[in-house]
Amino acid sequence: LNSGIKKIVTISDGIPLHDMVLIRQAAKEHGALVVGGNTSGVISPKVAMMGSFPHWIERVYKKGNIGVMTRSGSLTNEVTAMIVEAGYGVSTLIGVGGDPVPGTRFAEMLPYYEADSETNAVVIIGELGGTMEEEVAEAIKNKTFTKPLVAFLGGRTAPKGQRMGHAGAIISGGKGSVEDKIKALTEVGALVAERPRMVGKLLVELKVPKSI
């Protein structure tokens, strides 16, 4: 950041919380974008990639008009495959990461998708814990994000108070449950898929133009 780099992807997980707080503050001061940690990275198919994606990437990540934001890794591959199967492709996918304090949050990325002429709709792949999905709902409510949005949220059956894979995936104080997130998103008109396979079907239901 001090050397002037404006876009950074951090794939490492387990970065100390205090360090990430300092990194977020430094990124704001430098007008930079830090994605991660604990992320696969960022990809615009057929354009550019930063991070670590599977060797069979071209079979799943087809270029198209759907923006994707995700907190997960393996779920990202599955949901994106379902998007492609439904006749859509990806404009830009951003993995914000699964750690408790990410460099960039969902809501902070929405303005980029809102302004992107190649993105007709956005899919978020969330999970229990934290408030990122609720922040997306607030952006839709305030009309700072106006494009169609579909969500899939992992962890519907996870027991409260137990960490599930990611350090960020933990419910505390009765907040961050999948039920709360579904309620917040559906109240502002977003569609929430019960299963990964339903994501593509919901995009069709929203009449988003197919791109592949």
Helix (H) or strand (E) holding 161: none
Structure tokens at 133: 């999905």
Q: Would you call the peptide bond into 41 cis, given omega within 30 degrees of 0 as the criterion?
A: no
**Distance, CA of 130 to CA of 107 (rounded, Å):** 13
CB 106 within 8 Å of CB 124: yes
**Distance, CA of 99 to CA of 167 (rounded, Å):** 5
Task: Report CA torsion sign: 205, 195, 42, 58.
Answer: negative
Using DSSP's 3-state secondary structure scheme, residue 72 falls into coil
Q: Any residues with CB less than 8 A from the CB of 29 and at least 6 apart, and which?
A: none
How far, CA to CA in Å, does 17 sit from each of 99, 122, 127, 172?
A: 9, 29, 19, 17
Cite the active site residues.
166
